[in-house]
Each structure stands twice: as structure tokens, then as C-alpha cells.
Amino acid sequence: MIEGDLFKSLFDVIPFDIYVVDIATYEIIYMNKKMIQSRGDYIGQRCHERIYGEAKPCIFCKIPYLVDSKDARPLDKTIVFELFNPVDDRWYQLQEKVITWPDGRTTKYSIAVDITELKETQNRLAEAHAQLALKNKMLEKLSTTDSLTGLCNRLKIDDILEITLYAAQRYGRVFSLILIDIDHFKNVNDSFGHLVGDKVLKQMAEVLQSQIRKTDHLGRWGGEEFLIIAEDTDSDAAELLAEKLRKAVEITTFPEAGQITISLGVATWRDSDDRITIVQRADNALYRAKESGRNRIVVEG
């Protein structure tokens, strides 16, 4: 058996706080020189009272996990865990094991490494990561959102169209495009100024958004044009949605600009379509709607 002095000499050369307690009484029977110098001599006092400021054994005490539940014999097991001690307001990494002390008592030794600075660094790093993630999310939103209307911008709606087109080609999921143009918008800008024109665009976005389904995607296509990607929507359903939008705009009053109408072109996905062809078909339908008098819908045949 290792003599007590040898135990102490081994623990004394370790540059961290070490204490040993009798597991039957929780009495501190040994502290190494480092711990006595940093905290004082607690030998003879109960560990939970003197070290942790608790009136009874700590709820985080590892002794039950380090001895055999039948006869309290030491298990060949070491537990390492982190703990905040409110007594000295410090974080520690504790390494604990139950051993037989030279006088025959079953004891637990604890090696306590102060990791407060490491924890503070980890916390600062976690906070920095959180701030970075938030800023990245904000940047992503800015890069995909039209700054005036708050809708998806051209880049984002293009991405959604690519994904929708892939689903159509792979799984046969039909969808339709509704391309929308504000009638005589140039007259609004020329007559009332660009500030009023911007207000019209913002209000138009709100009106359109209020009429579409949660599964539809609305974006500003450019200038006074808007594009709706209507998933799982055939030509008939798309025409009904387009008419709903046309009527909603027609009965809306736009402050400073009065009554405004829209023209709409509808195109439904075909097996031969790619992104360019389906958009071109919707654009052709929109052109015919404008050429035939505006404030109307043309469904691409």
C-alpha cells in the first residue's frame, strides 16, 4: 500500500487545487499545498459546507457514481465535469475518483482546475458567433429582399423559380407564373413624382400580397413589374387567381395617385419548359394584355 506521505508528495507537485474527503462523513482529510495557499486550511471541515457553502451534501456530488452501490467499494472510474462555484464566483473543471486512503478509509479525491478565463473566452466566442450568425441572416435577407417593397427581389424569385421548375420536371408538379405590370405607371411618375411612384409600388405589393396563398411566391420582377409563382396551380386556377388580383387592385384607392389598374400575363408549365421559355410565355401574354387595352388578363395558350 502506498504510504500517506507518498500520496501527499504526489498531490503536492500538481499545480492545481486538490482535496480529499472521507466519503462516509464528507470531512476534508487532506488538501495539497496549492489549495491551502489559495484558499486556506479547511482540513477537518465538511467539503460541502466549507468549499461550496451548502448545508448538506451537494446535489452534484459524484460519490454515488464512484462506489459500488452494494458495498461502497471504490470503482475503477474517474469522472470529469465542469462546475460553477458561487462561493468564489469561479468555474472549475473537476476530476474526481474514489480511492482507499492509506489509513483504510474510503475517500474521494478532487482535482480542481480553474477554467474561469477559458469559460469567459468561450462565452465571448459564443456571443461573437451569435452576432455573426445574426448579421449573416440580416445580410442574406438584404441580398434577397427588394428594399422598396419588402418582397423577394429578382435574384430570390429567380432562385425560387429554379427550385419550382426542378420539382415540376422531376415529379410532374404543375405550376403557373403570373406576370403583372402596373398600367401607365410612367404617367404616375411624370404627373406626381417618383416619391408618389414609390408609394404606389409599396401599396401595390401589399395589395398583391394580401390576395395570394401562403404557398405562392411574390417578387418584384423589375421596375413596375411583379411576378407570382403559383405552385400546384394549373391554368384555370391561375386565371382565377389573376382575376382576383386584378379586381383587388381595381377597387383600391392609391393616395395621391387615385385609381390604378394592372395587366396580367399567365403561363402554365409544360414538359418542354425551362426557366427562360416559361417566363417568355408569361411575358408574351402580358404584352398581349397591354396591347388589347390593359386592365385585363391574357392566358398564354
Q: How many CA atoms lie within 13 A of 123 on its CB side?
A: 7
From first to last of its 301 residues, the chain has per-residue pLDDT tens of 344 566 777 888 889 999 999 999 999 999 999 999 989 999 999 999 999 999 999 999 999 999 998 888 899 999 999 999 999 999 999 999 999 888 889 999 999 999 999 999 988 988 888 888 888 887 777 788 999 999 999 999 999 999 999 999 999 999 999 999 999 999 999 999 999 999 999 999 999 999 999 999 999 999 999 999 999 999 999 999 999 999 999 999 999 999 999 999 999 999 999 999 999 999 999 999 999 999 999 999 6
Cell numbers at 150, concatenated: 419588402
H or E element that contains 84: strand 78-85
So what's the pLDDT on residue 140? Answer: 75
Q: In this structure, are residues 234 and 156 in contact, taking their beta carbons and an 8 Å threshold?
A: no
CATH code of the region 145-299: 3.30.70.270
- Closest by alpha carbon to 33, among 16, 54, 21, 20? 16
- Closest by alpha carbon to 98, among 185, 156, 20? 20
Whether this prediction's pTM lies above 0.75 is answered by no
Q: Which residues of the chain does CATH 3.30.70.270 include? A: 145-299
CATH code of the region 4-117: 3.30.450.20
Q: Which residues of the chain does CATH 3.30.450.20 include? A: 4-117
Q: In this structure, are residues 151 and 207 in contact, taking their beta carbons and an 8 Å threshold?
A: no
- Closest by alpha carbon to 108, among 48, 33, 39? 48
Instruction: Give the C-alpha separation, 41 to 45, whole Å.
Output: 9
Residue for grid cell 452494494: 70
- Given CA atoms 282, 287, 289, 294 in this order, what sign does their dihedral have? positive
Supply the residues annotated as catalytic.
224
Q: In this structure, are residues 242 and 236 in contact, taking their beta carbons and an 8 Å threshold?
A: no
